[in-house]
C-alpha cells in the first residue's frame, strides 16, 4: 500500500477530519526576468507538494520539479504545504571586481520570494527565493528560525531539475565524491549517470543549459542523480553523520543555478553565478596581484625530480634561486616551489600526518630563497599540500601563513590529494573522521583557510578543492582553483587529456570560475602515450582561453630558454582583464575568446580546437574604434598536428583595425594566440 492510497481512501471518508495534510491547489503565475526572457512558475499540488518550473521565451526549459528536504530526525518536508504568501523585488547594479575576467559586472534581476508552510503537524516554514535573470536563474531555500525546526539535519534535498527537452549532456561522474579530475562524458541527457556540477546540456533545438550552484557556504556540495528519464535530483555529498548537512535555523542554502543561452558562447559569457554571491566581505585585497608564475613543479611530474628528500629532491635552494632569477629576468611575478617542506617522504596520499607547514627540508634555505625573491622583486608562491588531512592542517595553518607573511608571500597553493579527506569528527572524542572532498565539513574547512589566509595578507589557490561556486566575489583572496584535469595528466604514464579536453572545460568546469590549469608546455614528449596532445600554438592560446588571475608558465626553464619565439607570448600575456568576449564556440569542439588587458589598451585572442581542424573567420570589431594595432600572431603551421607536428608554429605580425576580419586556421589539436598591440596615434578621420 502507499500513502496516496491512504490519502484517497481517507479523504473520501473523512474529508472533514483533515487527518491527512491537505492544501488547496494553488499556483503562482509566471514571474519573469527584467527582459521578460526567462520566467519561473510555482505550484502546489493536491497533496500539498511544492514544485517550480522554468520557461524561456514561452518555451518550457524545466518541467515542473519538486522542492523539499528529507531529514534524519523528523518527517520530510514535502507534503501538506501551502503557499502562505510571496513578495517580489527588482535589482540592478554594476559592481567592480578587484581582479577578474572583466572589471565591471552588471547584476540585474527580478526576485520572487515564496513562503511555504506545513498546514498540519510541525507546521514548518521555509521560503524559496528565485532570482531571475535574462540568462538564467538561481533559487535557494531560506529556512527561518522556528520551534518545529531548531536544527535541520538534512539527509537529502528533494530539489529536482526536470529538463523539458531531449538533448545531449557533458558531465563528469560523482564516484566517491573524491575529486573533479575526470574526463568528460558526452551522452544523451537521459543517459547521464550520477554527475557532478557544473553539468552542461544542449537540447535538440539548440538551447544551451548549465546546472550548478552558487555560494556554497556551510553546506554540502550538490551532485545530480538522474532518477528517471530527464529528471535530475539534487544529491548532497555525504557528511560525517547520517545528515549531509546540519544547520541550525535560520539558514540559507546555496543557490541552485540554471544558466540558459541560445549558444555555447552565451554560457561562457554569463555572470550569473558570480552575481548570486554576496559582495566582497573582506575589503582590500590589493596585497594580491594577478600574475604569471613559474615553478619547481613540472620536473616532478616528469619524474626528473622528487617532492621527497634525497639526491633528486626538486626544491633545493639552488634550483629555487635559479627559478627566481628566471622569473625576474622575464617579468613573471612569482615562483612556486613544491616539496620545500618536511612530510613528503612517507605515504602522504590521503594521509598527510607527516607534513610540516613551517619546517623546510635541510637542502632548502627558506630565508635565503625569500631574500633573493624580494631582492629580485619576485614573490614566492607558497605551497601547502595536506594529503586531504584538513584536521592536521588546521592545527598548523596559522603558523604556516604567519611564516609566509613574514617572508612576503602573498599567494599559497593548497592541495588535498586524497580519496577522502579527514576532519574533526562529531563524536565526543572529536577524533578525525574521513570526509568527502565536497562535504559540509570540507566546505567549512576551506572557508576557515580562506579567512585565516586573509588575516595574513595571503591569497589561496586550492588544488583538489571544493568546486568553485563564485565565492571569489565574497572572498576575493580565493583567487583560483584546480578542480578539473590539469596539465599534469599529460605527464604520467597513462592516457593524458585528449585534444577536446580544453574545449570541454570552457563550457563546463570553467563556467564555475578560474582554473589554475598550468599551461605553456613546449616539451611535448612525456611518459604519457600521447604526451601533451596539443600544438604549441594551442598551448599559447590557453593563456587567453582559460581564465585565471594566477597563471603558470608550467614548463621547465630550459624549455623556455630554448624557444624564445613562442615564449614571448607567455611573457606578454596579462593575467587580469578589463573585458572578456567569447567570439564563437561549440561545447567540446572549439572556442575563440578575446580579452582586453586591464589597465591597458592591448587585446589578446585565443582560439583552440579539438582533434578537428577549423577555419574561423573572426571579425576584429571588439578592437577600439579609431586605433591601429599590431597583431602578433602565433599560428599553427599548415602541417601542424597534435600528433606529429606540435612544434610547427608560425609567428608573424601585421597591422589591423577593428574593420579587419582574420581567418584563423587551427590544426588538429591546434590553436592560435594573438596579441593586439595598440599602436600610438589615431586613425585619420576617426
Beta carbon nearer to a copy of itself, 122 or 371? 122
DSSP string, 560-624: HHT-HHHHHHHHH--S-EEEEEEEEEETTTEEEEEEEETTSS-EEEEEEESSS-EEEEEE-TTSP
- Of 488, 500, 578, 677, the catalytic one is 488
Nearest CA among 557, 568, 518, 549 for reference residue 325: 557
- In the numeric block, which cell numbers belong to residue 566? 613562442
Whole-number minimum distance, CB 589 to a copy of itself, in Å? 21
Q: Which is nearer to a copy of itself, 84 or 242 (CB)?
A: 242
In the block, cell 548537512 appears at 245
Contacts 24+ apart (CB under 8 A), 25-28: 26/82, 26/83, 28/83, 28/86, 28/112, 28/114
Nearest to 679 by CA among 615, 619, 601, 573: 601
Shortest Cβ distance from residue 275 to a copy of itself (Å)? Answer: 32
CB of 127 to a copy of itself, least distance (A): 23
Nearer to a copy of itself, 98 or 486 (CB): 486
Q: By C-beta, is 30 or 148 nearer to a copy of itself?
A: 148
Q: β-strands 550-552, 291-296: how paired? A: parallel
CB of 191 to a copy of itself, least distance (A): 5
Q: How far is the CB of 7 from a copy of itself (least distance, A)?
A: 8
State in angstroms the smallest separation of the CB of 392 from a copy of itself: 14
Distance in angstroms (rounded) separating the CA atoms of residues 442 and 433: 11
Q: Which is nearer to a copy of itself, 138 or 415 (CB)?
A: 415
* Strands in 57-124 per DSSP E: 59-66, 69-71, 81-96, 104-118
- For residues 276 and 435, which CB has a smaller minimum distance to a copy of itself in the complex? 435
Q: How far apart are the first and last CA of the chain?
A: 79
Strand partners, 316: none
- Whether 88 sits among the annotated catalytic residues: the reply is no
Q: Between 187 and 474, name the residue whose CB sits nearer to a copy of itself.
A: 187
| d(C-alpha 42, C-alpha 31), whole Å | 9
Sheet with 629-636, strands from edge to edge, namely: 577-586, 590-597, 603-609, 671-678, 629-636, 649-656
DSSP state of 301: H
State the nearest-atom distance from the C-beta of 3 to a copy of itself, in Å. 5
Distance between CA atoms of 658 and 635, rounded to whole angstroms? 20
Instruction: Give the residue among 274, 301, 253 at the shortest CA–CA distance from 93.
Output: 274
- Residue 494 C-beta: closest distance to a copy of itself, Å: 6
In the complex, minimum distance from the CB of residue 301 to a copy of itself, in angstroms, rounded to a whole number: 6
Q: Based on CB atoms, which residue is closest to a copy of itself, 438 or 464?
A: 464
Whole-number Å distance between alpha carbons of 580 and 147: 49
CB of 31 to a copy of itself, least distance (A): 29
Q: For a copy of itself, give the closer residue by CB, 418 or 664.
A: 418
Beta bridge partners of 197: none
Least separation in angstroms between residue 458's CB and a copy of itself is 21
Interhelix angle 564-572/536-545, rounded to 10 degrees, is 0
Q: Concatenated DSSP letters for 351-420?
A: --TT--SSPBPTT--HHHHHHHHHHTT-EEEEEEE-TTBHHHHHTTHHHHHHHHHHTT--EEEEE--SSS
Buried b / exposed e across 619-650, counting CB within 10 Å, b at 16+?
ebebbbeebbbebbbbbbbeebbbeebbebbe
For a copy of itself, which is the closer residue by CB, 134 or 165?
165
CA neighbours within 13 Å on the CB side: how many for 218? 11
Q: Counting beta carbons within 10 angstroms of the beta carbon of residue 681, is it exposed (0 to 12), middle (13 to 18) or buried (19 or more)?
A: exposed
Q: Which is nearer to a copy of itself, 482 or 500 (CB)?
A: 482
Pairing relationship of beta strands 411-415 and 421-424 according to DSSP bridges: unpaired
Cell of 55: 520557461
91 with 183: CB under 8 angstroms? no
For helices 317-329 and 366-375, what crossing angle results, to 10°?
10
What is the rounded distance in angstroms from the CA atom of residue 505 to the CA atom of residue 268?
A: 10
Known catalytic residues are 488
Amino acid at each position: 500500500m502507499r500513502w496516496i492510497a491512504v490519502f484517497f481512501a481517507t479523504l473520501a471518508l473523512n474529508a472533514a477530519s483533515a487527518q491527512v495534510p491537505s492544501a488547496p491547489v494553488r499556483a503562482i503565475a509566471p514571474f519573469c526576468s527584467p527582459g521578460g526572457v526567462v520566467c519561473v512558475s510555482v505550484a502546489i499540488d493536491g497533496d500539498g507538494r511544492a514544485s517550480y518550473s522554468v520557461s524561456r521565451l514561452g518555451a518550457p526549459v524545466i518541467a515542473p520539479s519538486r522542492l523539499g528536504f528529507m531529514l534524519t530526525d523528523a518527517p520530510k518536508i514535502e507534503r501538506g504545504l501551502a503557499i502562505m504568501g510571496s513578495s517580489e523585488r527588482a535589482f540592478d547594479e554594476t559592481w567592480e571586481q578587484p581582479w577578474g575576467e572583466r572589471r565591471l559586472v552588471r547584476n540585474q534581476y527580478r526576485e520572487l520570494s515564496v513562503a511555504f508552510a506545513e498546514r498540519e503537524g510541525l507546521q514548518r516554514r521555509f521560503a524559496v527565493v528565485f532570482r531571475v535573470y535574462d540568462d538564467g536563474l538561481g533559487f535557494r531555500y531560506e529556512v527561518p528560525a522556528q520551534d518545529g525546526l531548531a536544527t535541520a539535519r538534512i539527509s537529502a534535498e528533494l530539489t529536482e531539475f526536470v529538463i523539458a527537452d531531449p538533448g545531449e549532456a557533458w558531465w563528469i561522474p560523482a564516484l566517491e565524491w573524491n575529486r573533479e579530475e575526470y574526463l568528460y562524458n558526452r551522452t544523451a541527457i537521459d543517459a547521464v549517470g550520477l554527475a557532478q556540477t557544473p553539468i552542461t546540456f544542449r537540447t535538440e533545438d539548440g538551447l544551451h543549459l548549465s546546472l550548478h550552484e552558487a555560494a556554497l557556504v556551510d553546506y554540502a556540495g550538490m551532485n545530480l542523480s538522474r532518477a528517471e528519464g530527464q529528471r535530475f535530483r539534487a544529491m548532497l555529498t555525504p557528511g560525517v553523520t547520517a545528515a549531509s548537512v546540519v544547520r541550525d535555523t535560520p539558514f540559507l542554502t546555496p543557490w541552485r543555478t540554471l544558466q540558459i543561452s541560445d549558444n555555447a558562447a552565451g554560457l561562457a559569457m554569463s555572470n550569473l553565478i558570480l552575481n548570486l554571491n554576496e559582495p566582497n566581505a573582506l575589503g582590500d585585497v590589493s596585497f594580491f596581484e594577478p600574475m604569471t608564475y613559474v615553478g619547481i613543479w613540472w620536473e616532478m611530474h616528469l619524474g626528473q625530480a622528487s617532492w621527497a628528500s634525497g639526491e633528486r629532491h626538486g626544491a633545493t635552494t639552488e634550483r629555487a634561486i635559479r627559478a627566481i632569477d628566471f622569473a625576474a629576468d622575464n617579468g613573471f611575478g612569482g615562483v612556486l616551489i613544491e616539496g620545500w617542506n618536511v612530510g613528503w617522504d612517507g605515504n602522504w596520499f590521503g594521509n598527510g600526518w607527516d607534513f610540516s607547514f613551517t619546517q623546510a627540508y635541510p637542502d632548502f634555505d627558506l630565508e635565503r630563497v625569500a631574500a633573493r625573491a624580494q631582492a629580485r622583486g619576485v614573490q614566492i608562491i607558497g605551497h601547502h599540500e595536506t594529503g586531504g588531512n584538513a584536521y592536521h592542517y588546521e592545527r598548523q595553518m596559522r603558523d604556516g601563513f604567519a611564516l609566509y607573511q613574514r617572508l612576503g608571500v602573498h599567494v599559497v597553493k593548497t592541495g588535498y590529494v586524497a580519496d577522502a579527506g579527514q576532519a574533526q569528527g562529531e563524536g565526543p572524542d572529536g577524533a578525525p573522521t574521513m570526509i568527502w572532498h565536497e562535504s559540509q565539513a570540507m566546505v567549512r574547512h576551506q572557508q576557515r583557510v580562506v579567512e585565516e589566509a586573509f588575516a595574513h595578507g595571503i591569497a589561496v589557490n586550492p588544488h583538489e578543492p571544493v568546486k568553485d561556486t563564485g565565492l571569489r566575489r565574497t572572498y576575493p583572496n580565493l583567487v583560483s582553483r584546480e578542480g578539473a584535469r590539469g596539465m599534469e595528466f599529460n605527464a604520467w604514464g597513462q592516457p593524458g587529456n585528449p585534444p577536446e579536453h580544453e574545449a570541454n572545460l570552457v563550457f563546463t568546469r570553467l563556467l564555475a570560475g578560474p582554473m589554475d590549469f598550468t599551461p605553456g608546455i613546449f616539451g611535448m614528449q612525456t611518459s604519457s602515450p600521447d604526451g601533451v596532445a596539443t600544438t604549441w600554438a594551442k598551448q599559447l592560446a590557453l593563456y587567453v582561453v582559460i581564465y585565471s588571475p594566477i597563471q603558470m608558465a608550467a614548463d621547465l626553464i630550459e624549455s623556455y630558454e630554448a624557444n624564445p619565439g613562442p615564449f614571448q607570448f607567455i611573457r606578454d600575456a596579462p593575467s587580469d582583464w578589463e573585458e572578456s568576449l567569447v567570439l564563437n564556440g561549440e561545447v567540446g569542439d572549439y572556442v575563440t575568446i578575446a580579452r582586453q588587458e586591464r589597465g591597458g589598451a592591448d587585446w589578446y585572442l585565443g582560439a583552440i580546437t579539438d582533434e578537428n581542424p577549423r577555419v574561423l573567420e573572426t571579425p576584429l570589431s571588439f578592437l577600439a574604434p579609431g586605433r591601429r594595432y599590431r597583431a602578433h600572431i602565433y599560428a599553427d603551421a599548415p602541417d601542424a598536428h597534435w600528433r606529429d607536428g606540435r612544434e610547427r608554429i608560425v609567428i608573424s605580425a601585421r597591422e589591423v583595425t577593428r574593420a579587419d576580419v582574420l581567418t584563423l586556421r587551427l590544426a588538429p589539436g591546434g590553436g592560435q594566440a594573438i596579441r593586439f598591440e595598440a599602436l600610438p596615434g589615431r586613425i585619420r578621420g576617426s
